[in-house]
Amino acid sequence: MSGLFITFEGGEGAGKSTQARLLADHLRGLGLDVDLTREPGGTPGAEALRDFLLFGGHDLSPRAEVMAHFAARADHVDRRIAPALAAGKVVICDRFSDSTEAYQGHGLGDGDPALLDMIAHLRALVPVVPDLTLVLQVPPAIAVARMAERANGRTDRYEALDTAFHARVAAGFDAIARRDATRCRRIDASAPMYAVRDDIRAVVGPYLKRAGNA
Ligand SMILES: Nc1ncnc2c1ncn2[C@@H]1O[C@H](COP(=O)(O)OP(=O)(O)OP(=O)(O)O)[C@@H](O)[C@H]1O
Ligand SMILES: [Mg+2]
């Protein structure tokens, strides 16, 4: 038995966490067994690394930062995602390897070919690949407004970076979605929440046969 692995990707404030929750609720309503998780994080060890990476105040070299994200991902995959998929569950993950490529490779590394090559090698070692990746895209002005509106308070390391960084990240996600066009679907996330939700349901629908009889 193998489940269904769906990832949400995109820049800050695009609505990933909102839409991941809405999709998880919808699929649970259809009777599917859903594990909703996030990166960096998703296991106790990976959540500790998340805290270190996002709020630790450290400035690792880009290569070290990439490896720390993949270390967190290895724990998350080995101890949570792979077992859930093996048990036939739907795993919905808020960010995954594409975020490392977009944020560290394009954002921090500014597309440095050596860094992108390292990321490509590390992602090839991850034993699970998403069946479907929803890349949520919004214009920068909307992202900024949504980030300001969001209630959770703490500003993380990446949110605090400048608009040029976020523009490189957005361009990185767009390039990834075009390159991996079979796996990735770009979603116009500038629409109201329930319109985006319906677009996502329409994309996900055909994948559900693989995860049960919904
Ligand atoms: N389609 C939408 N229209 C208007 N507001 C939205 C929409 N989707 C999400 N929001 C609001 O925008 C804010 C950011 O949404 P959310 O936290 O889901 O984004 P995110 O992509 O997970 O961001 P981050 O990358 O920083 O985690 C929240 O306050 C949320 O309620
Ligand atoms: Mg989020």
Please give the pLDDT value at position 106: 97
Can you tell me the distance from the alpha carbon of 120 to that of 123, in angstroms, rounded to the nearest whole number?
A: 5
- Give tens-digit pLDDT for 18-67: 999 999 999 999 999 999 999 999 999 999 999 999 999 999 999 999 99
Please give the pLDDT value at position 150: 74
- CATH (domain of 169): 3.40.50.300
Give the torsion sign (CA, 95, 169, 167, 56).
positive
Distances from the Cα of 49 to the Cαs of 56, 109, 111, in angstroms? 9, 21, 24
> Which structural domain, as residue segments, surrounds residue 189?
4-211
Total domain count, the chain = 1
Name every residue whose Cβ is closer than 8 Å to that of residue 144 and which is 6 or more positions away in sequence.
13
Ligand 1 atom closest to the Cα of residue 196 is 1
Ligand 1 atom closest to the Cα of residue 195 is 1
- Give tens-digit pLDDT for 113-152: 999 999 999 999 999 999 999 999 999 889 888 888 875 6
The answer to whether the CB of 14 is under 6 A from ligand 1 is yes
**For residue 11, pLDDT beyond 80:** yes
Nearest-CA residue for ligand 1 atom 24 is: 12
Please give the pLDDT value at position 146: 86
Between 211 and 209, the more confident residue is 209
CA atoms within 13 A on the CB side of 102: 24
pTM: 0.96
Name every residue whose Cβ is closer than 8 Å to that of residue 137 and which is 6 or more positions away in sequence.
10, 11, 14, 170, 173, 174, 186, 187, 188, 189, 190
Please give the pLDDT value at position 100: 98
DSSP-derived letter for residue 41 is -
The answer to whether the CB of 75 is under 6 A from ligand 1 is no
Please give the pLDDT value at position 147: 83
> CB of 85 within 8 A of CB of 2?
yes
CA quadruple 29, 210, 98, 198: dihedral, nearest 10? -40
Can you tell me the distance from the alpha carbon of 179 to that of 174, in angstroms, rounded to the nearest whole number?
A: 9
